[in-house]
Structure formats: C-alpha cells, structure tokens
C-alpha cells in the first residue's frame, strides 16, 4: 500500500509529469524504503526545481519505523531481536536514505545546497541515539562527494578540517577536493605546516592525490 493508502505510486509517471510536490510527499512519508529511495532519485533527476525540497529532507532528523513484510509477525520480529538490532536496522535505513538525498543534491549541482551539505558532512543531521552506529559515515561520505560535484570553494575548509576524522571516509574527501581542483591546493599546502604530524602527513597524501586527479 502506498502513501495515503492509494496503492503503489508510479514514480516514473510522477517524474515525467514533474510532480515535485507528490514526489516530496513520497520521499518523506512513504512507508516502504525502496519507494522513498526511488522518489529521491527522481527528484535528483528533475534538477534545480527540487533543490529546496531535498534540502529540507536532508535536514529532517526523524527516523521512520521499520516496515515489516505482511508475512512477518511483529511480535516474532521483536522477540528474536535485541533492542540494539532493532535500532540498528532503523538507523541503517535512515543513513542509506539520507545518503541518497545527498547524492541527489550533488547530481543537481546547485550551490544553494552547499551549506546544508557541509552540515551533513560535519554530522549535524545524525539523529539522537545513532552515535554508536558506524554506518553514520555513509551520510558524511555522500555529503563530501556531493560537495565535490558542486565544486564550491566554501567546501574546501570543512573538507580539509575533517581529513583525519575517522567518521568521514578519507577517499570521499580526496574525491571531493579532487573535483574542486586547483582552488584546494593552496589550503592543503598551508595545512602541511600544522603542528600535528598526523595532520601534516594526511595533508601531504591528500595533496598528492588531488594533484594526480587534476594533472597538476
């Protein structure tokens, strides 16, 4: 059953009709994760007209409940899983969902999304109770790559600051700075003078990779 009990929504048809309002409703309220994901991808493909709505979705920290198949009894499901396992499954769906939103914003490439994506990069939209879930790095990594796609210089400083953060995949930072290109070189050279050896070594490695990507 789709949103509001109207049956399975036709995402392709809604995309063709540029039904942004309808797609947003599905992205925010549809019970089935896979349908929400398809709606987000469609919004990303629609382009700039969907940016503000996608920004709101990325900022929303509400974690939807798990939707079980009709063949699965709720009491059996709860009985056979610990609270940690239940919470983990909910959060994994959330992180995968929000990663798709970040991807969509990067695919559109609109600079209006930069500040929100920087917030996601810093972990500002990780919901309460999810700090112990390792997969929270999915959102932050997707945000980094999305910032690289937009190629806005505002992203350089926060990307460099988070090079050594274990909760942000280093390869996503390298990809992002590599996409931004030459404007990222001077700040990386500057950070190589940092007092922290680990930071200097990381900056050197990232700088070398950025130069390779851009044939500098």
Is the pLDDT reported for residue 6 higher than 50?
no
pLDDT over 90 percentage in the chain: 38
Contact residues for 9 (Cβ-Cβ < 8 A; gap 6+): 2, 3, 22, 26, 30, 35, 39
Is the pLDDT reported for residue 156 higher than 50?
yes
Q: How confident is the model at residue 100 (pLDDT cuts 50, 70, 90)?
A: confident
Is the pLDDT reported for residue 4 higher than 60?
no
Is the pLDDT reported for residue 154 higher than 80?
yes
Q: Residue range 129-134: average pLDDT?
A: 77
Is the pLDDT reported for residue 66 higher than 50?
yes
Least confident of 26-35, 36-45, 65-74, 199-208: 65-74
Report the alpha-carbon distance of residue 182 to residue 67 in Å, rounded.
46
Is the pLDDT reported for residue 71 higher than 60?
no
Question: What is the average pLDDT value for the chain, to the nearest integer?
Answer: 84
Q: Which burial class, exposed, middle or buried, applies to 188 when counting CB atoms under 10 A from its CB (0-12, 13-18, 19+)?
A: buried
Residue 40's pLDDT is 79
Q: How confident is the model at residue 5 (pLDDT cuts 50, 70, 90)?
A: very low
Q: Residue range 22-43: average pLDDT?
A: 77
Residue of 104, 172, 180 lying closest to 140 (CA atoms): 172
Report the alpha-carbon distance of residue 187 to residue 140 in Å, rounded.
21
Asked if 126 and 90 count as a contact pair (C-beta separation under 8 A), the reply is no
Report the alpha-carbon distance of residue 215 to residue 43 in Å, rounded.
34
Residue 169's pLDDT is 92
Buried b or exposed e, range 82-114, using 16+ CB within 10 angstroms: eeeeebbebbbbbbbbbbbbbbbbbbbebeebb
pLDDT digits over 182-209, tens only? 999 999 999 998 899 988 999 999 999 8
Residue 106's pLDDT is 92
Q: Residue range 113-140: average pLDDT?
A: 88
Domain layout of the chain by residue ranges: 1-46, 61-214
Report CA-CA distances (Å) from 10 to 3, 51, 101, 129, 140: 11, 21, 19, 34, 30
**Phi-psi label, residue 5: left if phi above 0, alpha if psi -120 to 50, beta otherwise:** left
For residue 72, the 8-state DSSP code is S
Is the pLDDT reported for residue 1 higher than 50?
no
Q: Residue range 55-82: average pLDDT?
A: 70
């Amino acid at each position: 059953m789709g949103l509001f009990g109207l049956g399975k929504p036709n995402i392709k048809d809604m995309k063709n009709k540029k039904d942004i309002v309808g797609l947003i409703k599905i992205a925010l309220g549809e019970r089935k994760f896979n349908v929400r994901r398809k709606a987000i991808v469609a919004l990303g493909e629609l382009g700039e007209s969907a940016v503000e709505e996608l920004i709101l979705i990325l900022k929303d920290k509400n974690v939807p409940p798990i939707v079980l198949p009709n063949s699965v009894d709720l009491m059996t499901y709860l009985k056979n899983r610990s609270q940690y396992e239940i919470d983990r499954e909910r959060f994994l769906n959330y992180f995968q969902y929000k990663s798709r939103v970040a991807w969509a914003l990067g695919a559109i490439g609109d600079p209006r999304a930069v500040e929100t994506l920087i917030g996601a990069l810093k972990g500002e939209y990780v919901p309460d109770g999810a700090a112990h879930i390792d997969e929270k790095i999915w959102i932050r990594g997707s945000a980094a790559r999305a910032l690289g796609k937009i190629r806005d210089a505002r992203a350089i400083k926060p990307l460099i600051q988070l090079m050594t953060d274990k909760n942000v995949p280093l390869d996503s930072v390298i990809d992002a700075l590599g996409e931004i290109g030459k404007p990222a070189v001077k700040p990386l050279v500057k950070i190589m003078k940092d007092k922290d050896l680990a930071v200097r070594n990381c900056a050197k490695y990232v700088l070398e990779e950025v130069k390779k990507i851009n044939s500098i």
